[in-house]
């Protein structure tokens, strides 16, 4: 794994505290209580039955144990039914608080939450509703439907954290590829706007694309002059298996001020998720 980064990145990194960041795609973490959010889980035209109460409580405990074992400082939770899921999970994790704002996904109603040990900066929780990019295929404005941003404080260290779940490759097409890239470009705009205000920037989540893709290039800043984000994963790392092929689609990107970090993946029980957890630890 290449650990060589520009020397200029060292200027302030030594001053900041160590941290462990994790992103978890929970694969449709819905509860057992009807009616259910969205049009996929627990509906007549949906294809996913809701869990029983026993199954739901078991999933919460398994996820809570993974977070505890990782001792993660910031965790993004993807594919949850709503705020009540984040509340139920943090009830098992007394060191954590959750950050939540309803997504714009009106079909699946999948939401994102961020769990953290750090202090939430007042007035920073946002889904960046005014930030958009233009699709190269449709020439229309594109806004990510599932994105959550927040400012966090760890002592004197400030973090701008963005968690997102970009459009899937199910029934993929040039139009969907262009939309995914545009979603990434919109997130990048929010990052470049906020980056000067913070010591650290973290962008994480299920990007539904691989490290060498145009989507990741946009997120990391290849198409603009603002400071780039860094991908610490190696070619051997993977978070998802699609048609027998191992792929890294769940990412944790960080500003280039981080000069010593380890990226790795952690298996999840099959009954909880078909994704592995992606983790970045740095000091």
Is a pLDDT exceeding 60 seen at residue 189?
A: yes
Q: Quick: pLDDT tens for 261-274.
A: 999 999 999 999 99
With a pLDDT cut of 70, the percent of the chain lying above it is: 95
Spatial separation of the C-alpha atoms in residues 215 and 30, rounded to whole Å: 28
Is a pLDDT exceeding 70 seen at residue 11?
A: no
pLDDT band, very low/low/confident/very high, at 15 (cuts 50, 70, 90): low
The answer to whether 103 and 167 are in contact (CB under 8 A) is: no
Closest CA to 150 of 181, 131, 125, 127: 125
Pick the CATH number of 18-282 from 3.55.50.30, 3.40.640.10, 3.60.10.10, 3.40.630.10: 3.60.10.10
Is a pLDDT exceeding 90 seen at residue 12?
A: no
Q: Quick: pLDDT tens for 200-232.
A: 999 999 999 999 999 999 999 999 999 999 999
pLDDT for 142 equals 98
Spatial separation of the C-alpha atoms in residues 5 and 54, rounded to whole Å: 48
Spatial separation of the C-alpha atoms in residues 227 and 278, rounded to whole Å: 23
What Rg value do the Cα atoms of the chain yield, rounded? 18
Strands 147-154 and 111-116: unpaired
> Within 10 Å of residue 35's Cβ, how many Cβ atoms?
7
- For the chain, what are the domain ranges? 18-282
Q: Quick: pLDDT tens for 144-164.
A: 999 999 999 999 999 999 999
**pTM (two decimals):** 0.93
Q: Residue range 77-90: average pLDDT? A: 99
Q: Residue range 157-180: average pLDDT? A: 97
Q: Quick: pLDDT tens for 90-114.
A: 999 999 999 999 999 999 999 999 9
Q: Quick: pLDDT tens for 20-60.
A: 999 999 999 999 999 999 999 999 888 899 999 999 999 99
- CA 133, 136, 141, 147 torsion-angle sign: negative
Strand arrangement of the beta sheet that strand 277-282 belongs to? 97-100, 111-116, 74-80, 19-29, 277-282, 261-266
Structure tokens at 212: 């060498």
């Amino acid at each position: 794994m290449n650990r060589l980064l520009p020397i200029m990145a060292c200027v302030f990194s030594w001053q900041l505290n160590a941290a462990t960041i994790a992103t978890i795609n929970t694969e449709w973490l819905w509860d057992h209580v009807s009616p259910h959010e969205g049009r996929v889980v627990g509906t007549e035209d949906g294809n996913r039955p809701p869990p029983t109460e026993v199954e739901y409580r078991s999933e919460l405990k398994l996820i809570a144990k993974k977070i505890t074992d990782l001792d993660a400082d910031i965790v993004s939770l993807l594919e949850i039914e709503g705020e009540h899921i984040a509340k139920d999970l943090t009830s098992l994790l007394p060191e954590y608080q959750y950050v939540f704002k309803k997504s714009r996904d009106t079909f699946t109603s999948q939401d994102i939450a961020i769990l953290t040990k750090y202090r939430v900066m007042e007035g920073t929780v946002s889904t960046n509703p005014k930030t958009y990019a233009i699709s190269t295929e449709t020439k229309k404005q594109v806004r990510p439907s599932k994105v959550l941003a927040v400012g966090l404080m760890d002592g004197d260290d400030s973090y701008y954290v963005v968690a997102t779940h970009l459009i899937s490759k199910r029934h993929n097409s040039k139009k969907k590829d262009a939309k995914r890239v545009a979603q990434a470009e919109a997130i990048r705009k929010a990052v470049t706007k906020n980056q000067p205000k913070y010591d650290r920037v973290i962008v994480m989540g299920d990007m539904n694309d691989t490290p060498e893709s145009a989507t990741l290039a946009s997120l990391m800043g290849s198409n603009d002059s603002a400071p780039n984000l860094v991908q610490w994963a190696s070619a051997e790392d993977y978070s998802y298996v699609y048609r027998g092929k191992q792929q890294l689609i769940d990412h944790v990107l960080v500003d280039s001020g981080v000069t010593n970090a380890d990226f790795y993946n952690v298996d999840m029980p099959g009954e909880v998720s078909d994704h592995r957890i992606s983790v970045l630890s740095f000091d």
